[in-house]
Structure 1
Amino acid sequence: MRVGYSTIFQGSGDPADDQRVYRDELALCDLAEPLGFDMIWATEHHFTSYTMCPDPLNFLCYMAGRTTNIQLGSGAVILPWHDPVRVAENVTVLDLMSEGRFIFGMGRGLGRIEFEGLGIPMDESRARFVESAEIVLRALETGVLEADGKYYQIPRRDLRPRPVKSFQNRLYAAAVSPESVKIMADVGAGILINPQKDWAEVAADMRVYRAQFRELKGIDAPAPMVTGWVCCDQDEVKARDMAQEYIATYYESVLSHYELGGRHFESTHGYEYYKQLASYIDKKGTSKVVENFINLQIWGTPQQCYERVMDIRSQVGNDGLNAVCSFSGMTREMAEANMRLFAAEVMPRLKEVPAVDFAELDQVSV
């Protein structure tokens, strides 16, 4: 199993604190390669302190110059928010600068505040994502930019610098809802799983995804990657307390940023799953969904963290784990201790785990 470090640059809400957040997060990212992580991941978000990395490709170019062998992943670039020409160009430059270490993760977005702030109708996210993904992926494979679609019209142009390495085995997409999972199979991407619902439900989505991928592409789907929020401590009680405080606070920020209980999902095309989630939150209350989120994550002693990852893997068949070790106002010292312990006592065991047999997994799951 590959193990990555995922940085989210989560702020405190006070703009005066943003520079400190960046200073601390960059210091932790500098530790990822020396500690033995296989990947560094960053995601894209705008306008709030929920996650303050509006340009993950820019950040990863910086990390490419500070590292030697570690892979660099975007988790994810939100395609509907961008000109596909610039995405293809920036991805190519990053991949050339890092000598082929880039893993291209993309997504279609969820935050209304971001769609509105960037001037993109949220109703169009699904269609824009598919159209943009086709343009970008074709350009990365052929070196040619061209489109005559509903949203993007691009006269035939060469992509320069020209890509030199295929992304066919380095392509992922963030997906939570069943609608997104099916779209990602259509474009041929592996799945980046950000846990927000029971693992049994995710496992069912993955079975549908693998079947659709096989039908459309004629080959087996790549194994997914899972992002997990980590609270690791030698003391079980301290680890539990960390999870109850920091993972809970993180998910409260998710609820706020995405307005997950909002009524706007009722009239937004392509977000049917979130309409159901909003209804669930309204009935059960936010404390219930926060508790559920905590229970999906990776916390406890190193042994408990390992067992939790293996339980997740037994259900969804992931061959990668991206650990989020700094979030919700953790001090740099606490986040570093969390990261170092996970790297020293959990990660080596995970790296020994063999590849998943999906035929066996799907048979057991039925």
Structure 2
Amino acid sequence: MRVGYTTIFQGGGDARDDQRVYADELRLCELAEPLGFEMLWGVEHHFTSYTMCPDPVQFLSYMAGRTKNILLGSGAVILPWHDPVRVAEKVTMLDLMSGGRFIFGMGRGLGRIEFEGLRIPMDESRERFVESAEIVLRALETGVIEADGKYYRIPRRDLRPRPVKSFRDRLYAAAVSPESVRIMADVGAGILINPQKDWEEVSADMRKYREQFRELKGAEAPAPMVTGWVCCDKDPVKARDMAQEYIGGYYESVMSHYELGGRHFESTHGYEYYKRLASFIQNKGSERVVDNFIELQIYGTPEQCYERIVDIRSKVGNDGFNAVCSFSGMSYETAEANMRLFASEVMPRVKELPPVDFAELEVAAS
């Protein structure tokens, strides 16, 4: 299994602290390749300290010049927020500058504050994503970009520099809801799983995704990748306390940024799953949702962390795991110790895990 490191640049409430967050996160990112991580991932978010990386391609371009071999992944570029021409150009540029190390991850977005600030109607995200994905992916394969769609009308133009390497085997899309999973099968992307619901539910979503992928593409779907929030310590009690403080604190920031308990999902087209989640939070309270999120993540001793990853793999069949080791106000020292212990005592064993046999996975789930 491939193992990557994901940085999210999570800040606090004080804007004066943003520079320190960037300095600390970049120091951790520069440790990723020497520690043996095979991939480095950045995310895209805007306008709050939830995660402060408005341009993952720019961040990864910087890291391309600071590294030699590590793969560079966007987790994800949110297509409805961008001009497809600029996405295709930036992706091509980064891939050429990095020597073909870029993994293109894309998504359709969820935060109302971001859609409003970027002046894109949230109701249009599903259609915009599909239309933009088709334009960008076709351009990356052919070197030519053009469109005459509902949202994007682009005269035929060559991409220069030209793409020189296909993205078909390094294309992923972030998906949580069943609606998004179906869309990602339609565009032919592998799934980036950011756990927010029980792994049994995710397993069911992945079965449907593989079925639809076969139907639409006439081929087997690529194995998904899982991102997990990690709290690793040799003392199980300390690791549990870390999980409560940091993973729990992180999910509270998720609920705040995305307004997960908000009633706006009731009238927003394309976000049916989040309408149901919002109703659950309104009725049951946020504490139960936070506790559930903690239990979906990777915390404990190195052995417990390894066992959690193996259990997830047995349910969803992922061939990659991306660790988030710095978040929710961790000091640099705490984050570095967390990252180093995971890298030295968990990651080597995870890398040895063989590819999942999907036929066996389907039988086990039936």
- Band the TM-score falls in, shorter-chain normalisation: over 0.9
- Aligned counterpart, 2:295: 295
In the aligned structure 1, how far is the partner of 2:260 from the partner of 2:92?
35
Residue by residue, what CA displacement relative to the aligned partner does 1:126-182 show, whole Å, maximum 9, x if unpaired?
000000000000000000000000000000000110000000000000000000000
Aligned to 1:164: 164
Distance in 1 separating the partners of 2:251 and 2:106? 22
1:307 aligns with 307
Paired AA for residue 231 in structure 2? C
Q: Which runs of 4+ in 1 moved over 6 A?
A: none
Residues of 2 paired with 1:159 and 1:226: CA distance? 32
- Supply the AA of the counterpart residue of 1:64: A
For residues 363 and 47 of structure 1, what CA distance do their matches in structure 2 show?
45
Matches within 5 A, 1:140-159: 140-159=140-159
Partner in structure 1 of residue 11 of structure 2: 11
Q: Which runs of 5+ in 1 are unaligned?
A: none
Q: Normalization by structure 2: what TM-score? A: 1.00
Q: Which letter maps to 2:94? A: L
1:14-53 equivalences in 2 (<5 Å): 14-53=14-53
Q: What's 1:241 paired with?
A: 241
RMSD (CA atoms): 0.3
Deviations 1:343-366 (A, max 9, x none): 000000000000011111011101
* Equivalent residue letter for 2:33: E
Count how many residue pairs are aligned between Structure 1 and Structure 2: 366
Matched, 1:108 2:108: yes
What is the distance in 2 between the residues matched to 1:172 and 1:256? Answer: 26
User: CA-to-partner distance for each residue in 1:32-76, whole Å, 9 max, x for gaps?
Assistant: 000000000000000000000000000000000000000000000
Letter of the 1:178 counterpart: P
Q: Does 1:267 align with 2:267?
A: yes
For residues 329-354 of structure 1, give each alpha carbon's deviation from its aligned partner in whole angstroms, at most 9, with x where no partner exists. 00000000000000000000000000
Letter of the 1:242 counterpart: M
SS of the counterpart of 1:192?
Answer: strand
1:262 maps to a residue whose letter is G
Structure 2 letter corresponding to 1:101: R
* Secondary structure class of the residue paired with 2:68: coil
Residue number in structure 2 paired with 1:183: 183
Which runs of no fewer than 5 residues in structure 2 stay unpaired? none
CA distance in 1 between counterparts of 2:317 and 2:33 reads: 25
Partner of 1:94: 94
- Report how far residue 284 of structure 1 moved: 1.1
1:95-143 residue CA offsets vs partner (Å, 9 max, x unmatched): 0000000000000000000000000000000000000000000000000
Structure 2 CA distance for aligned equivalents of residues 12 and 257 of structure 1: 13
* Correspondence list, 1:282-361, <5 A: 282-361=282-361
Shift of 1:13: 1.5
For 1:209, what is the secondary structure of its paired residue? helix
Instruction: Give the corresponding residue for 1:204.
Output: 204
Q: Which residue identity lines up with residue 273 of structure 2 in the other structure?
A: Y
Aligned to 1:363: 363
CA distance in structure 1 between the aligned counterparts of 2:159 and 2:356, rounded to whole angstroms: 37
Asked if 1:118 is matched to 2:135, the reply is no
What is the percent sequence identity of the aligned residues?
83
User: What amino acid maps onto 2:323 in structure 1?
Assistant: A
C-alpha distance after superposition, 1:220-255 (max 9, x if no partner):
000000000000000000000000000000000000
> Structure 1 CA distance, aligned partners of 2:189 and 2:241?
37
Amino acid at match of 1:259: E
d(CA) in 1 for partners of 2:92, 2:347: 30
